[in-house]
Structures are given as C-alpha cells and as structure tokens.
Amino acid sequence: MGVKAVLDVGLLTMIPYGVAAVVMVLAARSSDRSGERRWHAASAAIAGGVGLVLAGVNAGSPVLGMAALTLATAGILSALPLFWPLPTAFLGGAAAAAGIAIINSLGNLAGFVSPFMVGAIKDATGSPTLGLYAIAASLFVGAALVLLGIPRPRASAEAQAAELRPAR
C-alpha cells in the first residue's frame, strides 16, 4: 500500500482484526442461539478461504486487497472458536481429551509449517499469491471435513439415561 510510517501501518493492521473481533462475537452468538455448530464453523472457514483468494486476485488494488484481507481475517478467526465445541459434541471423557490434544498438536504443527510452505511455493513458482491459494484450499478442505466428516453428535447424558430406563 506504500505506507511507510509505523503508526499508519499499525492503524491499517487494526482494520481486519477489529472487524474480525466483532464478527467473532456475532458468529458465536448466532451459533449459541441456534445450537448449530457445523454450518457456522464451515461458513466462517469458507469466508476465510474466499477472502484469501480475493486478496490474491486483488493484490494490485490496496482498497480491494484490504477488504479481501479483512474478510479472510474475520472468516479464519471466527472459524476457530466455532470449531472447538465440535470435538466434545461427539467425543466423551478420555476420547475428548485425546481428540482435542491431537487437534491442537496438528494445529500448532500447521502454524510452524505454513510459513515454510508458502515460502517454498513462492520460491518454486515465483508467484507471491499461490501460497494464499494453498492456504485457501486448506480452509475449503477443512470446511468440507467439518460438514461431511464428523459423525452425529452423541446424545446428552439425560437422553442416554432415558434410553436405558425400562419402559413402564
């Protein structure tokens, strides 16, 4: 964007994260109010992926690029808290603890590997935007897995107890 002053860089950086903070709260409220988790998490991930693709396409336009990065940031950061209730919806006890640990470990590993992957893609292709597309693709795959790959939530403890009671 051609901004050189440190204060101006900070103020521009504030825009995507400020919008994302508001969107995170609104999306979490909507998810809690409706009790629906999958579509909220998947929609946020898809919005993040679309924002990254648009950021790559509009790399030459500062205003459109900032709008696209704002959409990407809001989508990615909203998908995270919307995702975390899902493992405990179908895993219980020790399985939930192990599942959450595995998910967290893979997420941390991805945070370490992703910058190297983006750099390797740029070095191999010379394209500064293909790395964004690779991350967008991972968001789209994640959204598909949330929608298709998660079993039905397990019944609540009350529902399980009601099923075990003998009929009168």
Residue boundaries of the structural domains of the chain: 6-153
Which CATH number fits the domain 6-153, given the four candidates 3.40.50.150, 3.40.640.10, 1.20.1250.20, 3.40.50.300? 1.20.1250.20
- What tokens appear for 41 in the block? 């998490």
Contact 73, 51 (CB under 8 A): yes
Q: How far apart are CA 87 and CA 106, in angstroms?
A: 14
pLDDT at 164 over 60: no
pLDDT in tens, 112-158: 998 899 999 999 999 889 999 999 999 999 999 999 976 655 555 55
pLDDT in tens, 30-71: 999 998 889 999 999 999 999 999 999 998 898 999 999 999
Q: Which residues contact 148 (CB under 8 A, 6 or more apart)?
A: none
Q: Which residues contact 113 (CB under 8 A, 6 or more apart)?
A: none
Q: How far apart are CA 52 and CA 140, in angstroms?
A: 11
Q: Is the pTM of this model over 0.75?
A: yes
